[in-house]
């Protein structure tokens, strides 16, 4: 049965609400935060009050009772204006709270989800390590059981939302033992912020996403209760593969928003900017460039909504999520490049949103699975050798 990608009245109302918030609240302020490399706490608090961090979670845990399609809609509308606030929401929901919702005990859900859903606290996802990026199975961080505690040692890098004043926890993957064949047992463990031995480094100096929080983490004899194990011991790697599959849909929605934002800004500029006595939008070369940008954004939207619909309806979605993430991240870079070209010299000035979009776009081809990894996943789903 074909999937219907038209929005329900509820989803359309959400889209309009977030669109208005992005244009009225975020757009006038975010440039200053971006230039200062400062986390926009005020904006994030307002997003929390709107219920955006609780969109896909049940009301019994403080959520809004929505679904993954609702989350994607919100992310796309935010990213049309700014990707820093969009990635803060994406990571807080898809990577911070979702693992607890999917794999946590009832006690863990009731302890953590209400604060995460309200935006009062942010969660982070500690997977990537300095010596193993795409090869997450090569985890070197260890967690050794000592009585009723896990003792964690190791480090993580490029972790979003991990060092803000409202970060509540980081869920980390760690080797907790070995299988009979010597392969590592990788488990997921919740580490609350402020736990002794858990050190958060200074923020990275990044090319883009400058108003978001990204840091390196280190763990030196960090002790947490055995009850902080998330799900079954040894299932951490499998759990996070599932989380990444879902997260790729969210990142695809974000990338689509950036691609569409480049269209929005380019159309407006093409009408206002005059050269040789007329608006540059009168030139067919500019018109065709913008038409191609709109085509790419539209097809990216079809892709992520298709994957989200399959997830919501309980259908297989791994391949579709990889397809959506691969395509949308590629067209985000393409549209950002073309938008900058349309703006000319002004596109190189940070006061213009397309300059931020150009800087923010490249990471979308890297984070939550590189484009090369997406191609590997797609090939495997088509039955080609692993």
Active site residues: 368
333 close to 362: Cβ distance less than 8 angstroms: yes
Alpha carbons 315 and 338: distance in angstroms, whole number: 36
Task: Check if the beta carbon of residue 357 is closer than 8 Å to that of residue 363.
Answer: no
Q: What's the DSSP call for residue 28?
A: T
221 contact partners, CB below 8 Å, separation of at least 6: 151, 152, 153, 197
> Hey, is 227 helix, strand or coil?
helix
Q: Annotate 59-70 with b (16+ C-beta within 10 A) or e (fewer).
A: eebbbbebbbbb
Residue 34's alpha-carbon distances to 67, 86, 115, in angstroms, are 30, 13, 26
Beta bridge partners of 274: 279
């Amino acid at each position: 049965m074909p999937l219907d990608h038209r929005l329900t009245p509820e989803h359309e109302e959400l889209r309009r609400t977030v669109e208005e918030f992005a244009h009225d609240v975020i757009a006038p302020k975010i440039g200053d935060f971006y230039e200062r490399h400062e986390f926009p706490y005020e904006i994030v608090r307002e997003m929390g009050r709107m219920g955006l961090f609780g969109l896909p979670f049940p009301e019994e845990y403080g959520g809004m009772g929505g679904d993954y399609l609702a989350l994607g809609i919100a992310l796309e509308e935010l990213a049309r204006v700014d990707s820093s606030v969009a990635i803060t929401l994406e990571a807080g929901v898809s990577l911070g709270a979702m693992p607890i919702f999917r794999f946590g005990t009832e006690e863990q859900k009731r302890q953590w989800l209400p604060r995460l859903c309200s935006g009062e606290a942010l969660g982070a996802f500690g997977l990537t390590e300095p010596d193993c990026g795409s090869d997450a199975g090569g985890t070197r961080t260890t967690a050794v059981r000592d009585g009723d505690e896990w003792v964690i040692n190791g480090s993580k890098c490029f972790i979003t939302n991990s060092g803000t004043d409202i970060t509540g926890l980081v869920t980390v993957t760690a080797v907790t033992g070995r299988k009979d064949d010597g392969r590592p047992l990788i488990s997921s463990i919740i580490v609350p912020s402020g736990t002794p031995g858990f050190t958060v480094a200074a923020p990275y100096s990044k090319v883009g996403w400058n108003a978001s929080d990204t840091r390196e983490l280190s763990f030196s004899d960090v002790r947490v209760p055995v009850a902080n194990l998330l799900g079954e011991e040894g299932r951490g790697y499998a759990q996070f593969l599932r989380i990444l599959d879902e997260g790729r849909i969210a990142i695809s929605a974000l990338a689509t928003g950036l691609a569409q934002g480049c269209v929005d800004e380019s159309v407006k500029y093409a009408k206002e900017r005059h050269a040789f006595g007329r608006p540059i939008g009168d030139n067919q070369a500019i018109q065709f460039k913008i038409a191609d940008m709109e085509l790419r954004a539209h097809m990216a939207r079809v892709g992520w909504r298709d994957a989200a619909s399959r997830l919501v309806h309980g259908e297989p979605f791994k391949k579709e999520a990889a397809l959506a993430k691969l395509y949308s991240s590629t067209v985000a870079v393409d549209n950002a490049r073309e938008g900058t070209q349309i703006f000319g010299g002004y596109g190189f000035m940070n006061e213009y949103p397309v300059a931020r979009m150009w800087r923010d776009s490249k990471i979308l081809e890297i984070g939550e699975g590189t484009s090369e990894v997406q191609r590997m996943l797609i090939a495997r789903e088509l039955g080609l050798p692993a």
